[in-house]
Structure 1
Amino acid sequence: MTSYQTDVAVIGAGTAGLAAERHARQAGASTLLIDPAFAGTTCASVGCMPSKLLIAAADAAQTIREGAQFGLGAKPDVDGAAVMQRVRRLRDDFVAGVRSSIAKLPDGVAVTARARFDGPGRLLLETGDTVEARAIVIATGSSSLVPEAFSAVSDLVLTNESLFELEDLPHSIGVIGGGPVGLELAQALSRLGVDVTLFEGSDRIGGLPKAQSDSLYGALTREFPIHLNTEAEAAPDPDGVRLTWPGNSAVFERLLLAAGRPPNFQGLDLDRAGIELDENGAPVFDRETMQCSDSAVFIAGDANADRPVLHEASDEGTIAGRNAAAWPDVSRAVRKVPLTVTFTRPEAAVIGTLPENPDDCHTGVVDFGDQGRARAMGQAHGLCHVHATGSDGKLSGAALCAPGAEHLAHLLAWAMQCGLTATEVLDLPFYHPTLAEGLQTALRDICSQTGQAGPWQRDDDPLPGDLRGASWAGCTAF
């Protein structure tokens, strides 16, 4: 039995844990990185990357399918087995890259085991070994939730952690959960020829504000049914899984659960860590330091359920690792503007801070259903709200459902990070004809509400209609 002594022990070798260990070590601390498998990050193995590989295949099929509107005639011939083979092959390449970086860790840093707290600064490993650490970082990630109500059909249940292991695409699938994961996978599978029906227990999808949720709902339901405010019950059926909901039922070959990803706290014995826990048994922490209460325990990534996306996990791991190495001299970090993207088509995004009361801010609107470039692309659908605070129109938040929203969201996030006003953004270059050009409409809305103006707006030089996002009539900027 071994007794390890270290400055910083990190539990979990995902994105947050790898960042925490690296930055603690770079700060001069001795480190241990403890993980039961070192299988690669959630993003590379079962999250961001394999889902985008599936979406890429779906996009290719949809491009062929929609060719008729451009005068092209063809139909996609989807080889499900080949699609899934490519997903796994490239997924494995991404995972291999992560494992390669883990293999380069200094000798003695990586410890393969499960860990649990045995008191402040002390861990017990399943091997019987112990760890004494001056500071500890919890970076255990999260896992797909499989409610007990679906236990009777568990052999036919898929999650994002098992879907990509399918040898072929199913003929039909019921999807439980209308969050980003459920929506992305449901649309991708539908576009690849799977008969999909999605059930969401609330009146919104994608975690979006009502306006953007309604806009995305309108686009997606052209492709597959979505039942809002609906709880479906599952039961075994000779042909698969029978889902029953008010007034209806249907049989599906498989069931995809996308009902959330709670933090992995099971078996950690957090009650022995000497930290404050909330009513759900999760650590109370400071999002600018990642510190749990005033202890030498820090928490980062999906484990804290605050901003469960990869770039935030990396940032939080960095903050946690540096502060764990420096403890008790903890420093507060300036966090980046929040940014989340859902990779449906059209995409959806939320940036910055959305107002609780619309009367507390200025709001500009863009309707991408009548935006020039979107119409040319055959993707004219979506709605964008941009919010600003103060009399100067400083941008504070935005919600989008729009083609190319992943790129538009970055532009808005950068502008917010730089503290720009609507007028200052309008003074930046906008190329014509682009999707980004449509943002000018919302920015001008804000300027009109705040009384701001600039060289882009003169009473004697009205803008062509297209530059307001409407049509190409009268435009000579080619």
Structure 2
Amino acid sequence: MTDPAPEAMRPARRPSRKDGVLHADLCIIGAGSAGLSVAAGATQMGAAVVLIERDRMGGDCLNTGCVPSKALIAAAHAAEAMRGGERFGVGGHAPEIDFARVHAHVHGVIGAIAPHDSVERFEGLGVTVLRASARFTGPEEVEAGGERIRARRFVIATGSTAAIPKLPGLADVPYLTNETVFELTERPAHLLVVGGGPIGVEMAQAFRRLGADVTLFDIGPILPRDEPEAVAVLRAKLLAEGIVLRESATVEAVERAAKGVAVTLAGGERIEGTHLLVAAGRKANVEGLGLEAAGIGYTPKGVTVDSGLRTSNRRVFAIGDVAGGPQFTHVAGYHAGLVIRSALFGLPVRTDYAALPWATYADPELAHVGLTEAEARKAGGEVSILLEPLAGNDRAQAERETEGLIKVVLGRRGRILGTTIVAPRAGEMIGLWGLAIQNRLRIGAIASSLAPYPTLSEISKRAAGRYYTPTLFGPRTRRLVGLIQRFLP
């Protein structure tokens, strides 16, 4: 949410107190990305808002997720750049890594962003912030820290936490999750990573580049939601950097070992490491909220919502990770905008994930939006594919970063259904394709666009142009040009 200019600010409406109860237009449970976005927007639009947070402001994204992981990845990228100078004629060498200073860098980034999410900032905007656990005591009331809150509408934005698999022995060994791995001040000698999703892959590469030995285990292939061609590019890079990938490997048990911890695979193979990172998915934070007292339905996947993010209690919305859908910070922000429209203005809203992007911030980055080829073919209808290797891009050649590709999935008459890019900064390039899908554009819109030269983003235009190659350079066009040339003066 964007704050208004200071001179445009008017005194905010505040929750009122009557008979010992706080009365508000909106009561939000959870001050992570989703809850903060709703709180900032609603109070600036004139609503009286109560925001409840039992832990740290900013939630998972700021403190244990997006922000620290990208800060760690940036440090790892700097280390890798020092190793790779030889390809440019610049003397490369193994970097000296002070892991305590890497830790300080990561937490310095968190500290720089934290004031934007702080209690002081939100109280300054006019939000009443309560630092306590919240629970529903009925369909129209919440209790938090001894306060009773009644509101016209409630928003559950409690997020998610790391899912811990039921592995024999896991409870008896020290292990890391995304909530603790960024507290390390000493580099692991050998990090064992359980889980080959985006978090597992990002952390495996980052720690490897920072000098740790890394072995990653997954019950299937890594990054199973992404296009196989793109995953193959990233897999090759991980292997080349010395990460040991154990795909289609079932971890059956964990135990203490001389080096620290050991993993036993199906078939009896045993691998020892010094540290264990569990990155096996997320679970919604629904415990302790008193959802039954409010008549709110939920499952182990999260709070049950309709297409407008309302729960079975019409006064209550659920947004972000806790709503059981896609678990991304940008989805939390998207949900926040929908809820503001619905709760404050009474407008009908409906979630639409057709143009939902995501990115895995490894090197190269892997970004996707829309349908994969498999999803498009399963849906039926005409499907065609455009593939363009990154090696044909001049900027990629100049930067010696040619491992990558773009894959575009098209429907009838060239309508864009989905796109995957694996390349440096792919996450920055995927937005163009999301806009195209959201506006139901055909491939000609990308083919006729202009991109500055030389940029990596030219790969999008080049791929789109391939759609017209058979027609544009075919025998029919050559005959037509020949005929026209006879009559031109």
In which range does the TM-score fall when normalised by the shorter chain?
Answer: 0.7 to 0.9
The answer (yes or no) to whether the contact 2:36–2:58 under 8 Å persists in 1 is no
Q: Counterparts of 2:64 and 2:172 in 1: how far apart (Å)?
A: 19
Q: Counterparts of 2:478 and 2:419 in 1: how far apart (Å)?
A: 28
Matched, 1:405 2:426: yes
Name the residue aligned to 1:172.
190
Q: Counterparts of 1:116 and 1:156 in 2: how far apart (Å)?
A: 31
Q: Counterparts of 1:316 and 1:82 in 2: how far apart (Å)?
A: 37
Q: Counterparts of 2:452 and 2:150 in 1: how far apart (Å)?
A: 58
* Aligned partner of 2:360 among 342, 352, 371: 342
Q: Counterparts of 1:461 and 1:219 in 2: how far apart (Å)?
A: 47
SS at 2:162's partner residue? coil
Q: Counterparts of 1:38 and 1:119 in 2: how far apart (Å)?
A: 26
The answer (yes or no) to whether the contact 1:22–1:321 under 8 Å persists in 2 is no
Q: Spell out, residue by residue over 1:93-132, the C-alpha distance to the aligned partner (whole angstroms, 9 max, x if none).
A: 222332153342426x11121112222122233x343222
Name the residue aligned to 2:302.
282
Name the residue aligned to 1:324.
343
Name the residue aligned to 1:21.
39
Q: Counterparts of 1:249 and 1:438 in 2: how far apart (Å)?
A: 44
Q: Counterparts of 2:122 and 2:234 in 1: how far apart (Å)?
A: 39
Q: Counterparts of 1:153 and 1:446 in 2: how far apart (Å)?
A: 54
Superposed, which structure 2 residues align to 1:169-208 within 5 Å?
169-205=187-223, 207-208=225-226
* Aligned partner of 1:416 among 425, 434, 437: 437
Name the residue aligned to 2:5.
none
Q: Counterparts of 1:345 and 1:154 in 2: how far apart (Å)?
A: 34
Name the residue aligned to 2:10.
none
Decide whether aligned partners of structure 1 residues 399 and 281 sit closer, same or farther in structure 2, where only a CA change above 3 A counts: closer
Q: Counterparts of 1:166 and 1:428 in 2: how far apart (Å)?
A: 47
Q: Counterparts of 2:480 and 2:77 in 1: how far apart (Å)?
A: 41
Name the residue aligned to 1:383.
405
Q: Spell out, residue by residue over 1:341-398, the C-alpha distance to the aligned partner (whole angstroms, 9 max, x if none).
A: 111001101112335243632221112245443233222212321122221x122211
Q: Counterparts of 1:190 and 1:130 in 2: how far apart (Å)?
A: 50
Q: Counterparts of 2:388 and 2:439 in 1: how far apart (Å)?
A: 22
Name the residue aligned to 2:148.
130
Uncovered stretches (5+) of structure 2, i.e. residues with no partner: 1-18, 482-489
Name the residue aligned to 2:228.
210
Name the TM-score, length of structure 2 as normaliser: 0.85
Q: Counterparts of 2:154 and 2:87 in 1: how far apart (Å)?
A: 58
Q: Counterparts of 2:236 and 2:196 in 1: how far apart (Å)?
A: 14
SS at 1:21's partner residue? helix
Matched, 1:31 2:45: no
Q: Counterparts of 1:70 and 1:130 in 2: how far apart (Å)?
A: 65
The answer (yes or no) to whether the contact 1:339–1:413 under 8 Å persists in 2 is yes
The answer (yes or no) to whether the contact 1:381–1:403 under 8 Å persists in 2 is no
Q: Counterparts of 1:348 and 1:461 in 2: how far apart (Å)?
A: 42
The answer (yes or no) to whether the contact 1:118–1:269 under 8 Å persists in 2 is yes
The answer (yes or no) to whether the contact 1:41–1:98 under 8 Å persists in 2 is no
Q: Counterparts of 2:105 and 2:343 in 1: how far apart (Å)?
A: 41
Q: What residue identity is the alignment partner of 2:325?
A: D
SS at 1:250's partner residue? strand
Post-superposition shift, 1:87? 1.4
Post-superposition shift, 1:448? 5.1
Q: Counterparts of 1:389 and 1:161 in 2: how far apart (Å)?
A: 42
The answer (yes or no) to whether the contact 2:446–2:460 under 8 Å persists in 1 is no
Matched residues, number:
451
SS at 1:95's partner residue? helix
The answer (yes or no) to whether the contact 2:285–2:302 under 8 Å persists in 1 is no
The answer (yes or no) to whether the contact 1:204–1:210 under 8 Å persists in 2 is no
Cα RMSD, aligned residues only: 2.7
Moved more, 184-193 or 83-92: 83-92
Q: Counterparts of 2:244 and 2:90 in 1: how far apart (Å)?
A: 27
The answer (yes or no) to whether the contact 1:115–1:124 under 8 Å persists in 2 is yes
Superposed, which structure 2 residues align to 1:210-229 within 5 Å?
210-223=228-241, 224-229=243-248
Decide whether aligned partners of structure 1 residues 357 and 93 sit closer, same or farther in structure 2, where only a CA change above 3 A counts: closer
The answer (yes or no) to whether the contact 1:198–1:227 under 8 Å persists in 2 is yes
The answer (yes or no) to whether the contact 1:364–1:444 under 8 Å persists in 2 is no
Matched, 1:7 2:25: yes
Q: Counterparts of 2:20 and 2:278 in 1: how far apart (Å)?
A: 41
Post-superposition shift, 1:425? 1.3
Matched, 1:251 2:272: yes
Name the residue aligned to 1:467.
none
Q: Counterparts of 1:399 and 1:367 in 2: how far apart (Å)?
A: 12
SS at 1:386's partner residue? strand
Decide whether aligned partners of structure 1 residues 2 and 237 sit closer, same or farther in structure 2, where only a CA change above 3 A counts: farther
The answer (yes or no) to whether the contact 2:372–2:419 under 8 Å persists in 1 is yes
Q: What residue identity is the alignment partner of 1:374?
A: A
Name the residue aligned to 2:334.
315
Q: Spell out, residue by residue over 1:282-316, the C-alpha distance to the aligned partner (whole angstroms, 9 max, x if none).
A: 332234x2222471111111111323222221121
SS at 2:167's partner residue? helix
Decide whether aligned partners of structure 1 residues 65 and 154 sit closer, same or farther in structure 2, where only a CA change above 3 A counts: farther
Name the TM-score, length of structure 1 as normaliser: 0.86
Q: Counterparts of 2:223 and 2:351 in 1: how far apart (Å)?
A: 30
Q: Spell out, residue by residue over 1:226-281, the C-alpha distance to the aligned partner (whole angstroms, 9 max, x if none).
A: 11111223101132001122453222111111111211111113223223435x36
Uncovered stretches (5+) of structure 1, i.e. residues with no partner: 463-478
Q: Counterparts of 1:282 and 1:78 in 2: how far apart (Å)?
A: 41
Moved more, 51-60 or 310-319: 310-319
SS at 1:135's partner residue? strand
Decide whether aligned partners of structure 1 residues 260 and 152 sit closer, same or farther in structure 2, where only a CA change above 3 A counts: closer
Post-superposition shift, 1:436? 1.7
Identity %: 30
Decide whether aligned partners of structure 1 residues 323 and 151 sit closer, same or farther in structure 2, where only a CA change above 3 A counts: farther
* Aligned partner of 1:242 among 262, 282, 294: 262
The answer (yes or no) to whether the contact 2:43–2:126 under 8 Å persists in 1 is no
Post-superposition shift, 1:458? 7.3
Q: Counterparts of 2:238 and 2:170 in 1: how far apart (Å)?
A: 30
Q: Counterparts of 1:198 and 1:460 in 2: how far apart (Å)?
A: 57
